[in-house]
Amino acid sequence: MNRILHTISILTLAGLLVSCAPAGDATPAVPPESAATPPAAATPVEAATATATSAPPSYPERDDPAGMTVVQDKGTTLAFYDLRGGLLGSRALPPTGGSSSRLHISGTAADGVEALDVLRFVQDGHAVAIFSGQAEILRLEGSLNGVVGVPGQPLVAFGLLNPSADGGQLVSQIYLGTPQTLAGAQPVFEHTGSFGGAFGPLRIEIEAGQPVGIWYTLRAYGIGGHIIYDPTNGLYFLDLATGLGVEFTIPDSDIHQAAFSPDGSWLSYVSMGSIEFFNLQDGSTFSIPQLPESDRGGGDVTIAPGNQYVAWKEAHGSFLAADGEPDYYALLRVGVIDQGPVHDFAEAFFEQAAGYVVNDMSPVAWLDDQTLLVSLSNEYGARQLWMLDLSGPTPRLLADGDLAGFIYP
């Protein structure tokens, strides 16, 4: 891992003092309740500018989804479905183009879909516009670099990147707020570094309803070609009480494409040809080697709510083959932590149900411990969401479009 890119500030996790000893001798960089975890180490690195925020109102995480939201019609419609796939209703969105990764939905579904709060982040030229419902609440110069929210709650964090004043470096910023506070929000994190990448948020850490930190990563910038997975490297934690940050490291591992289980107890990442799992509570680990033929590696890992089943994608070849003949294909794999792979699903499996040639596919999220949402795309790039019941397994079409998130009772 290139440490030159990772010059951020030293951080203490809430309630946990991180040692400033040389790399490898520091206190494990895990949440306070997991401070005894032995295999991981916090690597102190050079300081950067950050600003702490005061604690907002209580935002307890929700783990009881009642349905899901899907972006349709080129980003102009938000459709709501129950967990069985029944349509609950829909709402119009401003016609500004769409991306499911730029939406956060909060509120309670018990009052109807029209009562849900929709926060939308739109890249508008060289600026990011943020809408709450139909109203624009904030506009900032720069490019969006990730959006994460607390499930069911209005609290979100988003990343912004800009060139430095002299044009020779990238400035990464992370903001935290709600629809009521974002208009006056200041960045809780800022870092100036190489054009090779910019820092963006991955997860907001909540304790007793309060945000105590933000997990974040370095996302590659300015790369091209056939990019299959989100090009992220490393994992870091920002303490909101102190405004300090630390790199989270695991011995003998490089962390790529870091992702968390819904309850935050498991970390998944890709390292040296394997899908790795690290338990943030007890330090246990599990590794699943990728298939030898998966020369494009693996990624898009998603962990089921029960922290047992996992799904990920592996890929081979490219749409940009040197001889002019694309040889790309994807494989959807399902496994069990502490056991290994239990199901492999080729594109042909879904093509039989979909009735068209599947150009690409990825696991998106678990509805429960047996039902997986899978995104399929055809040769024209149009995407559909399919439900895969592992007890069948027979895939069933849910809707056209992209998953935007879950709704809660």
Which residues are CB-neighbours of 378 under 8 A, at least 6 positions away?
356, 357, 358, 359
The pLDDT tens digits for 225-238 are 667 888 899 999 99
Domain interval for residue 361: 3-407
Report the pLDDT averaged over residues 53-69: 80
CATH code for the domain in which residue 182 is found: 2.130.10.120
pLDDT at 270 exceeding the cut of 70: yes
Spatial separation of the C-alpha atoms in residues 157 and 137, rounded to whole Å: 15
Q: What is the phi/psi pair of residue 66, to 5°? A: -105, -10
Order of all β-strands in the sheet with 340-346: 298-303, 309-316, 329-336, 340-346
pLDDT at 30 exceeding the cut of 50: no
Q: CB–CB of 263/271 below 8 Å?
A: no
Of 35-39, 78-82, 112-116, 281-285, the one with minimum mean pLDDT is 35-39
Spatial separation of the C-alpha atoms in residues 131 and 24, rounded to whole Å: 44
Of 189-193, 203-207, 314-318, the one with minimum mean pLDDT is 314-318
Spatial separation of the C-alpha atoms in residues 356 and 46, rounded to whole Å: 52
For residue 159, the one-letter residue type is G
Q: Tokens representing 3?
A: 């440490």
User: What is the distance, to the nearest Å, from the Cα of residue 267 to the centroid of all Cα atoms in its chain?
Assistant: 12
pLDDT at 99 exceeding the cut of 50: no
Q: In total, how many domains does the chain have?
A: 1
Q: CB–CB of 368/65 below 8 Å?
A: no
Report the pLDDT averaged over residues 310-315: 96
Spatial separation of the C-alpha atoms in residues 215 and 237, rounded to whole Å: 5
Name the percent of the chain lying above pLDDT 70: 83
